[in-house]
Structures are given as C-alpha cells and as structure tokens.
C-alpha cells in the first residue's frame, strides 16, 4: 500500500491535528517489532495493551500510530498520532476504504479443514493470469483479514482471502468487510464444535460467508456435504459444486496416490492428468475447488495444471520431511479435527514403504463435551495391519488409548511429557520408517518435529 497520512485520517473521519508530518504510509503492523520506516502501528488491546508498545514502534522507525481515545495522549507529542474511538474498528474501516480504492476481485475461502491449502492452490492458479495477493500464514480473522487487505499493491487484480471463525457472526462480519465476488466453502467438520454444539450449527456459521456475496458472484462448495447442499438452496447467486461423487459439477474421474504427490483427472477431461505435490484425496478436493475458481476467471486448463503442480503449500500442512536418521516424516501439525485426522491417517496408511508406519497423534482441541467420543472414534481409521505403532500425547488422547487397547503397540504421554515422547521416538525410530505427526496447534507437536529433523 501507499497512502498519505492525511488520506488515512480522512478515510477514518478523524481530526488531523496530531499529525506532525504528512508521512507516506507503506505498511500497517500491530506488532511493534515489525515496525519500520513507513509503518502505521495499530495498538490493539488484547492480553496486553498495544499502547504500551507505541514508543517501541516509533523507536523501530514507525511513521505513525493509531491511538484509542480512552487512553491519555502523551503530553509531548513529537510523532504522528491518529486518535480513534477504537483501534481495531479503525483498522477494519481503513482496510474497507483501501479495498474499495484498489477494487480487486475478491475470492473468499473458508471451511472446517483445507481452507489454507485451498487458498494457496487458488492463488497459484489465478497468479497464472492475474496480479494476486493472498492471505499469509493464518491471518484469517478480524485482525488478519484487514492486514491482508492493506498489504495489497496498487496493481492487485484479485485478492484471495482466507476466513476463519470460532463463533457465530464472525464470518458474517468478515464477509461484509470484503464483499466477495466468489465465496468458497471447502468442507464442514467438527472444528470448534465446542462452541457450536452440532455440525448443523457449524454449517450455519460457515454459510455466513455468503451473506455479503455480490449478487453477480459465485458460490463454490463441497457438494458431497448434505448440510451445504441443503443450505445452498437459499442462495440466489450462481453455484458450482466439487467433490468425489458424480452429482457434482467437478469431480474426480481417476486418482493415483503416491508418497509425495497425487495424480488425478476430472470429469471435465478424464484424459488430462493433474499432479499436486501433496498426499491425500482430501487435498484433491481442495484442488477441485481451486480449479473451479480458476475457471470462473477464465484461466486456461494448461495454466491451472502448471500452477497446481508447482504451488507451495503453507508450512506444516501434509509436508514431507526427513529425520536425522533418514526416516520420512509427514508433518501435519498445524491443526486437527476428527474429519481431517481420519482423512490423513487413511491416506498415510496407503503410502508404500519397506519399513514401518508410525502414528504420532496429539489432542484435538475445541471439541467440547464430545471430545472423548470423537478421540476414541479415530481408532476406526487405524489398522493394525498397516500401522506398526501409535504414540499419543495429551489428556484427551487417553480415550484413543483405551479404544486401541491390545490392538497394536501404543505409547501414551500426558501433557508435559513431551521430552519423554521425543526420547522414546528417537530410540525407536528406524531409517526406513514413515512417521505421521498430527495434532491441534496448541499441542506444539512442531517441537517433536524439530527434535527429529535437527
């Protein structure tokens, strides 16, 4: 971005009297450590009050800061302060203004699982023909979406924005902010069921992404999910479906899994083979969504194929790495819900190997009263013929430990026993083994990964 401070003040409808110099703002940050010359610092109020770090932001070179009016402005002001009623609301208002100033097409993506991979695939497909900006990392909430918008260059043609949620109303607000031209729902799972209670209510919340979908827009969703098909009947905009059943607009004609890639074809052209550098039929579903978005924007099939073959997935999403001793590790430690865990275990179990297949699984969070049952259900996906051993970490995984009793070797570690888990794994792991690591991000299985690959 590039805007004068006075333009920003006018966009926010505030007094410019505390602007010392009309600086040019080139980026917006809410972490004072990332402030540089040209930064507008946004002091957000959370566990810690961002106003305590305003001076640090200026020390790092920030050109200006927002300042919430219920905080006393320093008596001596030598830097640029923009006083607003609420700093988060101001961040969102500024992003709304900037989005309409640049006026790109907007593709918004949500889902209980697969939204980040679908975002990465979609951005890669569209970048074959357009100037594209996409959500970085997991900046997909009421803070991250505005920051993503404000990161756009002036020549951006399409914004691909990921949207997450953990409560009702959140996606409605984000949809109103970006007003998508294309809205995508990857799937409905059990993520955040602690807060919603049922999958029906999760589906209702995911459908909020369509509330501000432009009347000329397109709704793309997983047609294998009855909860989405049912709710889509109330949507008047154009609709396209993807999935693995024949009822969908785009489906799989053939699929050939391999260790580090999946080859498939679609019903549109069964003779054309597409390769994605990822394991799993669930990732093929994500690719189907990206293909439909590409076709909405007239990207040629050859370009779509090239993009999917070479796209770079976000770190720790079904990513193959090598342990120090040569064992192969499939890292999927960013997040987990029951549907996603069962999918990745099923696909991992099919990977050819001359050694053993080992599972390292951690708790799945935010499952509420159904947590014990849903953890135990994972056992249905674990075959003693294909899995040699299971390592479990976390209090909730006790339910899976019980479900697997006497079926195959199980090593259980309570929360806080990660070092013991790592030590046992390092002792047991053989160079020919395949290992899957999967858990919610809050379990920090990335530390296990780091210990194995260092």
Q: Which pLDDT belongs to residue 393?
A: 97
Q: Which pLDDT belongs to residue 195?
A: 67
Q: Which pLDDT belongs to residue 336?
A: 84
- CATH class of the domain comprising 319-453: alpha beta
Q: Which pLDDT belongs to residue 394?
A: 96
Q: Which pLDDT belongs to residue 406?
A: 84
* For range 355-377, the mean pLDDT: 93
Instruction: Give pLDDT tens digits for 413-443.
Output: 999 999 999 999 999 999 999 999 999 989 9
* For range 203-225, the mean pLDDT: 97
- Who contacts 129 (Cβ-Cβ below 8 Å, separation ≥6)? 297, 298, 299, 300, 303
Q: Which pLDDT belongs to residue 50?
A: 96
Q: Which pLDDT belongs to residue 318?
A: 77
Q: Which pLDDT belongs to residue 15?
A: 83
* For range 119-140, the mean pLDDT: 95
Q: Which pLDDT belongs to residue 138?
A: 78
* For range 159-183, the mean pLDDT: 96
Residue ranges for the binding site for ATP? 111-117
Q: Which pLDDT belongs to residue 17?
A: 78
CATH 3.40.1190.10 fits 104-310, yes or no: yes
Tell me how far CA of residue 169 lies from CA of 99, 209, 286, 287, 385, in angstroms: 21, 10, 25, 28, 45
Per-residue confidence at 263, pLDDT binned at 50, 70, 90? very high
Answer yes or no: are the C-beta atoms of 384 and 345 closer than 8 Å.
Answer: no
| pLDDT higher at 235 or 73 | 235
* Highest-confidence segment of 11-25, 183-197, 285-299: 285-299
- Who contacts 123 (Cβ-Cβ below 8 Å, separation ≥6)? 132, 134, 160, 311
| pLDDT higher at 323 or 339 | 323
Mean of the per-residue pLDDT values of the chain: 93
Q: Which pLDDT belongs to residue 191?
A: 64
Instruction: Give pLDDT tens digits for 27-55.
Output: 999 999 999 999 999 999 998 999 999 99
Q: Give the start-to-end residue ranges of the domains of the chain.
A: 3-85, 104-310, 319-453
What is the pTM assigned to this prediction? Answer: 0.88
* For range 68-72, the mean pLDDT: 93
CA-wise closest residue to 65 among 25, 116, 92, 17: 25
Per-residue confidence at 259, pLDDT binned at 50, 70, 90? confident
Q: Which pLDDT belongs to residue 451?
A: 95
Distance (Å, rounded) from C-alpha 19 to C-alpha 119? 38
Q: Tell me the HSE value of 303 on the side-chain side, using a 13 A CA sphere.
A: 16
Per-residue confidence at 192, pLDDT binned at 50, 70, 90? low
* For range 402-411, the mean pLDDT: 93
Q: What is the three-class DSSP state of 108?
A: strand
185, β-bridge pairs: 110, 221
**pLDDT exceeds cutoff 80 at 213:** yes
68, β-bridge pairs: 84
Q: Which pLDDT belongs to residue 194?
A: 62
Q: Which pLDDT belongs to residue 334?
A: 79
Residue ranges for the binding site? 111-117
Q: Which pLDDT belongs to residue 316?
A: 61
- Who contacts 394 (Cβ-Cβ below 8 Å, separation ≥6)? 362, 363, 414, 415, 439, 443
Other CB atoms within a 10 A radius of the CB of residue 35 amount to 25
Tell me how far CA of residue 133 lies from CA of 127, 147, 149, 237, 268, in angstroms: 9, 12, 8, 25, 28
Question: Which CATH architecture best describes the domain 3-85?
Answer: 3-Layer(aba) Sandwich (3.40)
With pLDDT > 70 as the criterion, what percentage of the chain qualifies? 98
């Amino acid at each position: 971005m590039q805007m004068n401070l006075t333009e920003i003040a006018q966009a926010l409808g505030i007094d410019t009297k505390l602007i010392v110099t009309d600086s040019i703002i080139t980026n917006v940050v809410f972490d004072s450590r990332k402030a540089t010359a040209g930064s507008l610092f946004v002091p957000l109020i959370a566990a810690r009050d961002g106003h305590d770090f305003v001076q640090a932001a200026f020390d790092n070179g920030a050109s200006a800061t927002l300042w919430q009016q219920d905080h006393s402005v320093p008596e001596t002001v030598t830097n640029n302060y923009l006083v607003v009623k609420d700093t988060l609301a101001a961040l969102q208002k500024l992003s709304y203004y900037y989005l309409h100033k640049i006026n790109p097409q907007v593709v918004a993506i949500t889902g209980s699982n697969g939204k980040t991979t679908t975002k990465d695939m979609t951005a890669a497909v569209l970048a074959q023909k357009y100037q594209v900006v996409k959500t970085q990392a997991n900046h997909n909430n009421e803070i991250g979406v505005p920051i993503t918008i404000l990161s756009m260059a002036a020549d951006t043609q399409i914004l691909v924005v990921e949207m997450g949620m953990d409560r009702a109303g959140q996606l409605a607000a984000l949809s109103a902010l970006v007003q998508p031209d294309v809205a995508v729902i990857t799937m409905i799972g059990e993520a955040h069921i602690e807060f919603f209670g049922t999958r029906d209510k999760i589906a209702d919340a995911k459908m909020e992404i369509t509330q501000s979908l432009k009347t000329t827009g397109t709704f793309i969703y997983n047609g294998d999910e009855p909860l989405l098909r049912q709710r889509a009947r109330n949507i008047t905009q154009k609709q396209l479906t993807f999935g693995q059943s024949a009822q969908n607009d785009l489906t799989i004609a053939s699929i050939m899994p391999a260790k580090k890639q999946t080859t498939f074809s679609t019903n549109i052209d069964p003779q054309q083979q597409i390769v994605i550098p990822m394991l799993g039929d669930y990732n093929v579903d994500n690719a189907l969504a990206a293909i439909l978005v590409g076709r909405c924007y007239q990207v040629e099939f050859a370009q779509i194929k090239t993009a999917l073959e070479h796209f770079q997935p976000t770190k720790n999403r079904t990513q193959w790495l090598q342990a120090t001793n040569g064992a192969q590790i499939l890292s999927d430690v960013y997040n987990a819900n029951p549907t996603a865990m069962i999918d990745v275990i099923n696909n991992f179990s099919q990977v050819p190997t001359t050694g053993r297949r080992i599972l390292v699984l951690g708790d799945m969070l935010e499952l509420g009263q159904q947590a014990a049952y849903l953890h135990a259900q994972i056992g249905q996906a674990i075959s003693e013929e294909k899995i040699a051993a299971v390592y479990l970490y976390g209090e909730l995984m006790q339910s899976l430990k019980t479900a697997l009793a006497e079926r195959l070797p199980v090593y259980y570690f309570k929360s806080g026993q990660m070092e013991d888990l790592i030590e046992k794994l390092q002792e047991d792991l053989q160079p020919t083994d395949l290992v899957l690591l999967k858990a919610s991000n809050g379990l920090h299985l990335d530390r296990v990964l780091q210990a194995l690959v260092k």
